[in-house]
C-alpha cells in the first residue's frame, strides 16, 4: 500500500484516528477489488446481510445496516436487475415486500468475499497471522462495546 499518506506524529498517538485511517485504506482496497465485479461495499453488505439473516423488508435491512433509505434504493437498483436479490410479498404480511438473496446472489457474494479477503491480506500485510487474529479479536470486542447487537463470545 504505497499510497498511504504520511500522518503527523501527534495524530499517530490517537488510536481512533489511526483506526479510522486504516479503515479508510481497507474500504478503498475492498472497493477496488469489488469494482471488477460491478459491486461496491454496500452491495456486499446487503448480500451478506440477506444471506446471513434471511429475507427482510428494505426498511429493516436499511436499519440493520445503517444505510439511508435513498442509498438502499440505489443499491437495490443494481442488485435487482442482475437478479442477485429477489423482491416479493412478505408471507407474514402480504402488504409488505420482502427482499431475499437469490442463488446467483449467493454465488456473487462468495466471489465478492474472496475479493474482499484479498484486500484484507493487502491491508494487513505488515502483521503476522497471530497479530491479525489478535487485532480482529480486539476490534470485535471494541465493536461489541459500541453495539449490543454485535454478539461477541
Band of the pLDDT at 79, cuts 50, 70, 90? Answer: very high
| Separation between Cα atoms, residue 37 and residue 111, nearest integer Å | 8
Question: Cβ of 130: how many Cβ atoms within 10 Å?
Answer: 8
Determine the pLDDT at residue 90: 83
153 pLDDT above the threshold of 70 = no
Q: What CA–CA distances, in Å, run from 123 to 26, 28, 36, 71, 130?
A: 6, 10, 19, 27, 15
Backbone torsions φ then ψ of 124, nearest 5 degrees: -105, 20
Q: Is the pLDDT of residue 78 over 90?
A: yes
Task: Name the residue with higher pLDDT: 26 or 153.
Answer: 26
Per-residue pLDDT tens over the stretch 134-143: 999 999 888 8
- The model's pLDDT over 93-131, given as tens digits with 9 standing for 90+, comes to 888 889 999 999 999 999 999 999 999 888 999 999 999
Find where cell 434471511 sits: 54
What tens digit of pLDDT does each residue of 14-45 get? 999 999 999 999 999 999 999 999 999 999 99
- Residue 143's pLDDT is 86
pLDDT computed for residue 96 by the predictor: 85
- As assigned by CATH, the class of the 22-146 domain is mainly alpha
Domain regions of the chain by residue span: 22-146
What CA–CA distance (Å, rounded) separates 40 from 107? 16
Residue with cell 435513498: 70
Amino acid at each position: 500500500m504505497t499510497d498511504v499518506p504520511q500522518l503527523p506524529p501527534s495524530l499517530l498517538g490517537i488510536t481512533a484516528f489511526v483506526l479510522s485511517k486504516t479503515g479508510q485504506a481497507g474500504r478503498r482496497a475492498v472497493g477496488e477489488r469489488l469494482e471488477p465485479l460491478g459491486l461496491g461495499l454496500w452491495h456486499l453488505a446487503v448480500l451478506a446481510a440477506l444471506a446471513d439473516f434471511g429475507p427482510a423488508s428494505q426498511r429493516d435491512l436499511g436499519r440493520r445496516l445503517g444505510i439511508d433509505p435513498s442509498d438502499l434504493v440505489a443499491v437495490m437498483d443494481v442488485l435487482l436487475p442482475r437478479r442477485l436479490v429477489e423482491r416479493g410479498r412478505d408471507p407474514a404480511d402480504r402488504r409488505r415486500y420482502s427482499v431475499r438473496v437469490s442463488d446467483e446472489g449467493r454465488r456473487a457474494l462468495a466471489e465478492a468475499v474472496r475479493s474482499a479477503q484479498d484486500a484484507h491480506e493487502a491491508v494487513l500485510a505488515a502483521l503476522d497471522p497471530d497479530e491479525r487474529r489478535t487485532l480482529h479479536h480486539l476490534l470485535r470486542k471494541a465493536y461489541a462495546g459500541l453495539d449490543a447487537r454485535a454478539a461477541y463470545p
